[in-house]
Amino acid sequence: MSGWALLAFILAVALGTALTRFLPALYAHHAADPRVARLLQGVPAAALGALLVTSFETALPPHYLVTTLIALALAAVLAWRPGGVLWPVLGAVMVAALGLSLHIG
């Protein structure tokens, strides 16, 4: 593919993605019906569950399931007490680094 075709590719993808992001946002306030609002209220948590499934297998290299589970369990325990998300995340990263360096799979 030539340079111009690649540039056109970027612009076409960017335009479509921008419209996908922007147009629903523009009309979001029209979703004021209580039933629609209640349906949309569940979307963030649903996305959270879906993202956990889709990214779980790629979070760490393959064959590090034990390290992954321990790191995420630590994050859940640390998050149970109020105090923000930074410590749970840093704790999980440190456990992941330790598990990877010790090859705990």
Partner 1 sequence: MDTERTALVDPRALPIALGYLPVAFAFGLSAVALHLPGWFAIGLSLLVYAGASQFAALHLLQVGTPWLAAVVSIWLINLRMALEGLSFFRRVDWGRRLPYLALLLTDETFVAASLGDPIGPAAYRRLVWLPYATWVLGTAFGVAAGGLLPALLRHAFGIAIDALFVSLLVEAVQADRKTLWAATAGAVGAFLGSRLGGWSLVAGMLLGAAAYFAASLRPGGQA
In angstroms, give the least distance from the CB of 98 to partner 1: 9
4 binds partner 1 (CB under 8 A): no
Which residue from 20, 19, 41, 42 is spatially nearest to 32, judged by alpha carbons?
Answer: 41
Distance in angstroms (rounded) separating the CA atoms of residues 44 and 39: 11
How many residues are recorded in the chain? 105
According to CB under 8 A, which one of 9, 65, 104, 105 is a site residue for partner 1? 9
In angstroms, give the least distance from the CB of 3 to partner 1: 7
Do 97 and 69 touch, CB atoms closer than 8 A? no
39 binds partner 1 (CB under 8 A): yes
72 binds partner 1 (CB under 8 A): yes
